[in-house]
Amino acid sequence: MQVKEVADLVGISIRTLHHYDAIGLLKPQHTTRAGYRIYTASELERLQQILFFKELGFPLKNIKEILDNPSFDQVEALEKHYERLLAKRRQIDTMLETIQKTMRHTKGEITMSNQERFAGFDFSSNPYEQEARERWGDEAVDKANANINDLNKRENLEQTINELYHRLADIRKEDPASEVAQKRIAEWFHLLNEIGTYSLDAFKGLGQIYVDDECFRKNIDQFGEGLAIFMRDAMAIYADSK
């Protein structure tokens, strides 16, 4: 197989193959007199492995090490990488929190309700907590209390969710593509993402479920007739626009 065939088959660019050749990560089995690179099944197999590790975020250098050195412990490499990824995710979580805080400060108005929205998450009123925080640091205490807090959080989140339902119901007669609608649906997206991790597709699919599933629809339409449909449309538009 020549470069284009391989590239098209696995969905990478020709340049990438050139590059992998240049750095010795994936050499073609041989080259024709004209210098054309010729790849065979075994190169394809190696390429699959390369792409696998690449998808996991490994740098090419490491991939080369891992593949070239069968004695290299792949499991260990995976474990190490796993922890690097965890660290990265924590970093991102921190950034997300910071942004939220900042927006709350910057925006002020609408976000004042955001303030309230998270007020319940603060346990500073509990004297034992106060002491615990000083002794062990905030983060550890927060984590240790995760189970207990989870209930409070959930209660509070439910309230927040209800509020947002109401605010969505208020505008359910407007165009789901309108700026207001999209802003509030974005809030909805962010709110859900505080609970779990939602892809845009999942978000859109969820909107459809709101309409198709009786149980969901009834519950949602309690806030206003037609809200489920409105939300589905707004959610689809939102997801597609990203």
Toward DNA, which CB reaches closer, 47 or 164? 47
Q: Structure tokens of 140?
A: 């550890």
Q: Which is nearer to a copy of itself, 44 or 209 (CB)?
A: 209
Kindly report the number of other CB atoms within 10 A of residue 16's CB atom. 20
Q: List interacting residues with a copy of itself (CB under 8 A).
A: 55-57, 74-75, 78-79, 81-83, 85-86, 88-90, 92-93, 95-96, 98-100, 102-103, 106-107, 132, 135-137, 139-144, 146, 186, 190, 192-193, 195-199, 201-202, 204-206, 208-209, 212-213, 216, 242
How far is residue 57's CA from residue 80's CA, in Å, rounded to a whole number? 12
Residue 184's H or E segment, with its range, is helix 179-195
- Residue located via tokens 């978000």: 203
CA distance 200 to 236: 9
- In the list a copy of itself, DNA, none, the entry touching 232 (Cβ below 5 to 8 angstroms by class) is none
CB of residue 55 vs DNA: minimum separation in angstroms?
10
Q: List contacts with DNA (CB under 7 A).
A: 2-5, 12-16, 18-20, 31-37, 54, 59-61
Q: Which is nearer to a copy of itself, 79 or 225 (CB)?
A: 79
CB of 66 to DNA, least distance (A): 12
Q: Which does 75 bind (CB under 5 to 8 A by kind): a copy of itself, DNA, none?
A: a copy of itself
Q: C-beta of 54: minimal distance to DNA in Å?
A: 6
Instruction: Tell whether the torsion through CA atoms of 84, 85, 88 and 94 is positive or negative.
Output: negative
What angle do the packed helices 146-170 and 109-119 form, to 10 degrees? 150
Q: How many CB atoms lie within 10 A of CB 210?
A: 20
Tokens 């990824």 locate to: 85
